[in-house]
Amino acid sequence: MDLGAGIRRALARVTGAALVDEKTVKEMAKELQRAMISSDVNVRLVFELTKRIEERALREKPVSGFGAREHVVKVVYEELQKMLGEKFEPRLGKQKIMMVGLFGQGKTTSIAKIAKFYKTKGLRTGVIAADIHRPAAAEQLQTLAAQAGCAFYGAPKGAAADKIAEQGVKALSGEDVIILDSAGRSAFDETLVKELKAMNAAFGPDAKYLVVSADLGQVAGKQAEEFHKAVGIDGVIITKMDGSGKGGGALSSVAATGAKVAFIGTGEKLDALELFDPEKFVARLCGFPDLETLVAKAKSAGEEEKLKEALEEGKLDYEVFLSQMKAMKKMGPLKGVLQMMGAYDLPEEMVGKSEEKMKKFEAIVHSMTKDERKDPELMRNRARQERVAKGAGAKLEDVRELVSSFDKVEKMMKGIGRNRGLMKRFEKMFGGMKLG
């Protein structure tokens, strides 16, 4: 399971609850534990985290303007952030960077990404190929360097790695940032430590980054410790965050050693690199880009108290459906408000439709009869679908897509809105937007 989805699901237990009490908070904490453990976060770390969350959520008084639900979300948000450490501030300016790491972790790719990163900061960058073990290593780096638009130094075959590093620094003396690519190793052992120390002495780096893949999960923390002990590292680059379910484990274990996560790699392309910022990262995981604005919005849009009165079950029909889709489209941030109310992962059906599609859907709804709009069951009929398509100047597939989107959203509503009458609340929030 995707960690973000798991966390959002856990939060939905609270945001979607009619009443936030100890039981709700404990259930949320349990769900959070499940999500984190399945992302390979160390069990002890997980329990420490949820214990702190429970304590703070139940004992602390909400800050002014925050209701019980917002308070719990805020606590989760802050504790997750603390768990992942501080924001990394890369040093800009002239420097030599050495990359270390085991086989296949993404060193060479990350070097090119970082070279590109420094280039966008206006610095001249160059890379040195000193991986003398893997036959095609220099070519790989050369190709990537060309893509990144940075200088490249590769020595003729047969040269020793530390000599290449020394010569490379001379050859690239006109560059501001010089990054050294060295050979990976299959395991952390004495030979590797020796090699690292020799490279360290020959190259004289100002910064050393360890590259680990998110696939390692909590083993990433162990590697951070070992490498730090051997040569000292300034930051860790966690690659393949895009393709691994263990990213949470890798991030938290590295942070737990006191090492800083510097960058994360999120794809094979050279621009798939992010400077690691726990605040932003956690906001994204929780689905609340900006908690404060969100709460303010929830208040003005919903007027909590009035919303609470509207707890009866609502019923979805095509008019409401369309007005909601339009509202979602217009008010992106409302996505957060809805999450606050318990809709943790809104289906693409409600937020992802293109302008063109929306126009089409609107025309389709307009060419439905009043009965059809009010009784969605009718629209399952093929003859009706065909008639409506014709009337709207749309294709039969468009009508069917609308019907299937409607079904999905209705299902979601039933799931989360059963007790709270979420539908009613939607209607209130988007009231006045009904189609004429």
Ligand X SMILES: Nc1nc2c(ncn2[C@@H]2O[C@H](COP(=O)(O)OP(=O)(O)OP(=O)(O)O)[C@@H](O)[C@H]2O)c(=O)[nH]1
Binding residues vs ligand X (CB under 6 A): 101, 103-109, 131, 134, 137, 184, 239-240, 242-243, 265-268, 272
Residue 100 or 343 having the CB closest to ligand X: 100
- Contacts of Mg ion in 70-109 (CB under 5 A): 107-108
Cβ pair 361, 321 in contact under 8 A: no
CA distances from 299 to 92, 338, 344 (A): 42, 12, 18
Residue 148 or 364 having the CB closest to Mg ion: 148
Tally of residues, the chain: 436
What is the closest distance, in whole angstroms, from the C-beta atom of residue 224 to ligand X in the complex? 15
Backbone torsion region of residue 232, taken as left when φ is above 0, otherwise alpha when ψ lies between -120 and 50, otherwise beta: left
Q: What is the spatial distance between Cα 76 and Cα 187, in angstroms, rounded to a whole number?
A: 37
Residue 265 binds: one of ligand X, Mg ion, none (C-beta under 5 to 8 A by kind):
ligand X
What is the closest distance, in whole angstroms, from the C-beta atom of residue 122 to ligand X in the complex? 24
Residue 267 binds: one of Mg ion, ligand X, none (C-beta under 5 to 8 A by kind):
ligand X
Cβ pair 289, 283 in contact under 8 A: yes
- Contacts of Mg ion in 108-147 (CB under 5 A): 108
Q: Using CB atoms, what's the residue nearest to Mg ion?
A: 108
Q: What is the spatial distance between Cα 311 and Cα 179, in angstroms, rounded to a whole number?
A: 60
Residue 15 or 108 having the CB closest to Mg ion: 108
Angle at 427 between CA 422 and CA 433, to 5 degrees: 155
Q: What is the spatial distance between Cα 316 and Cα 406, in angstroms, rounded to a whole number?
A: 9
The type of residue at 308 is K
Antiparallel, parallel or unpaired: β 151-154 and 261-265: unpaired
Cβ pair 132, 161 in contact under 8 A: yes
Residue 285 binds: one of ligand X, Mg ion, none (C-beta under 5 to 8 A by kind):
none
Residue 348 binds: one of Mg ion, ligand X, none (C-beta under 5 to 8 A by kind):
none
User: What single DSSP character describes residue 420?
Assistant: T
Cβ pair 245, 2 in contact under 8 A: yes
What is the closest distance, in whole angstroms, from the C-beta atom of residue 316 to ligand X in the complex? 39
What is the closest distance, in whole angstroms, from the C-beta atom of residue 419 to Mg ion in the complex? 54
User: What single DSSP character describes residue 263?
Assistant: E
Residue 109 binds: one of Mg ion, ligand X, none (C-beta under 5 to 8 A by kind):
ligand X
Cβ pair 223, 249 in contact under 8 A: no
How many residues sit close enough to Mg ion to count as binding (CB under 5 A)? 2
3-state secondary structure of 5: helix
What is the closest distance, in whole angstroms, from the C-beta atom of residue 41 to ligand X in the complex? 20
What is the closest distance, in whole angstroms, from the C-beta atom of residue 131 to Mg ion in the complex? 5
What is the closest distance, in whole angstroms, from the C-beta atom of residue 195 to ligand X in the complex? 13
Residue 220 or 389 having the CB closest to ligand X: 220
- Contacts of Mg ion in 324-363 (CB under 5 A): none
Residue 62 or 104 having the CB closest to ligand X: 104
Query: Which residues of the shown chain bind Mg ion in the complex (CB under 5 A)?
Result: 107-108
